[in-house]
Amino acid sequence: MLNNLSFKKGFRFGSLFYLCAFSVALWGCNSDSSKMQIASAAIIVRADTLPVPQAAPAVLPETEPTEPQSFTVIGVGDMMLGTNYPSASYLPPNGGRNLLDEAREILKSADVTFGNLEGTILDKGGTPKRCNNPAACYVFRSPESYVQHFVDAGFDFLSVANNHSGDFGYEGRSRTKALLAEAGIAFAGLAGTNEYAIIERDGVKYGMAAFAPNSGTCSIHDLGKARAIVSKLDQECDIVIVSFHGGAEGASHQNVPRHSETYFGENRGDVYKFSHAVVDAGADIVFGQGPHVTRAMELYKDRLICYSLGNFCTYGRFSLSGPAGFAPIVAVRVDKQGAFLGGEVTPIYQQKAHGPKIDAQKRATLKLIELTQADFPETPLEITKEGKLLKKG
């Protein structure tokens, strides 16, 4: 009877078993001999031979997969906030303080914000460049107080690799560089002196290099040197941004041709070949400008290339007719290795009397969709009508 009870209950501890066995033995003293035998048999059974029930496996709570850490970089195209040359009449009202009002909070929302600075920042003086073709030549000199507008809008990086950074010679360039440095804005794109820049934000290192086909700038044509600069940044930084100023200009040159482009007799570079070369060397985001109109985007090796961000804030002396009057603000989200996670386009437009305003017609977004489908049908990049940048699949 005891053996049957033992297997039904599954005794777990030897001490409990022996206590029961001892009770049985006492009971057996007052019983007949057969019962005494049962008690004796029970006493010699080892407790560690009894089956021990296994504990049920622990059920862990389900956890949601963690999202990769992301960093937002905003890029905009050409900026020239007004020029006091050849006349102060080309300056905006109120010292230009209101030019970036509608875009300011968007620009400041990123971890890092980039733009292309056309022209120089200089109150007076300098040597204005001479132009072989005055009809196609403009010379830009913005007042020194205007550097504060870039600070207030949250710009971290500015490219000075373009055809206007030398508009007022050595004095114009050196004063522009000094003012940007004093303001805490990093800049790059000048051959031999300021070829790249590195900043750190919240423990993340960002590097930026800029290239153009123009004298004194890091050359868009010298792919070997461009690769070397970008590779160096890739070794030292978490996220590498490359800017180029290249390609033919205007509404008739909105498509990316995948070969060198010549405009007004100047070789403006093969922006497709250049962009792929710098991504191969370690670039994570490529922001292009120069055509003064919006061009397509593509994803190459999980890196976003914007072939032209158009005119962002170009007051007074730029043509803003047709597609030159609207452009995208591009926000790119990347992981700490620089790989594309997503992004968003905010479409803006300009008119002669004001800076960038949010475009309810979404012309830049719609143009990006059209051009990207036409020029890069193979790209895994998807641009929605709401301006979302996604990776297909």
Residue 120 above 70 pLDDT? yes
Residues belonging to the chain: 393
pLDDT in tens, 204-222: 999 999 999 999 999 999 9
**Single-letter code of the amino acid located at 26:** L
Residue 103 above 50 pLDDT? yes
User: Cα–Cα distance between 135 and 325 in angstroms, integer?
Assistant: 20
* pLDDT confidence tier of residue 60, bands split at 50, 70 and 90: low
Q: 72-76, 128-132, 250-254, 316-320: which range is least confident on average? A: 128-132
Q: 148-152, 287-291, 349-353: which range is least confident on average? A: 349-353
Mean pLDDT computed over 17-28: 40
Q: What is the pLDDT of residue 11?
A: 38
* Total-model pTM: 0.83
* pLDDT confidence tier of residue 130, bands split at 50, 70 and 90: confident
Which of 390, 186, 209 has the alpha carbon at shortest distance from 282? Answer: 209
pLDDT in tens, 183-208: 999 999 999 999 999 999 999 999 99
* Average pLDDT of the chain, as a whole number: 88
Residue 20 above 60 pLDDT? no
According to DSSP, the residues that pair with 198 across neighbouring strands are 207
* pLDDT confidence tier of residue 61, bands split at 50, 70 and 90: low
**Exposure of 392 by Cβ count < 10 A (0-12 exposed, 13-18 middle, 19+ buried)?**
exposed
* pLDDT confidence tier of residue 249, bands split at 50, 70 and 90: very high
Domain residue limits, the chain: 2-49, 71-391
Residue 295 near residue 252 (C-beta atoms within 8 A): no
Residue 262 near residue 270 (C-beta atoms within 8 A): no
Strands 285-289 and 303-306: parallel
Which of 23, 76, 20 has the alpha carbon at shortest distance from 50? Answer: 20
pLDDT in tens, 298-344: 999 999 999 999 999 999 889 999 999 999 999 999 999 999 999 99
Q: How many CB atoms lie within 10 A of CB 44?
A: 7
Percent of the chain with pLDDT over 90: 78
The CATH number given to 71-391 is: 3.60.21.10
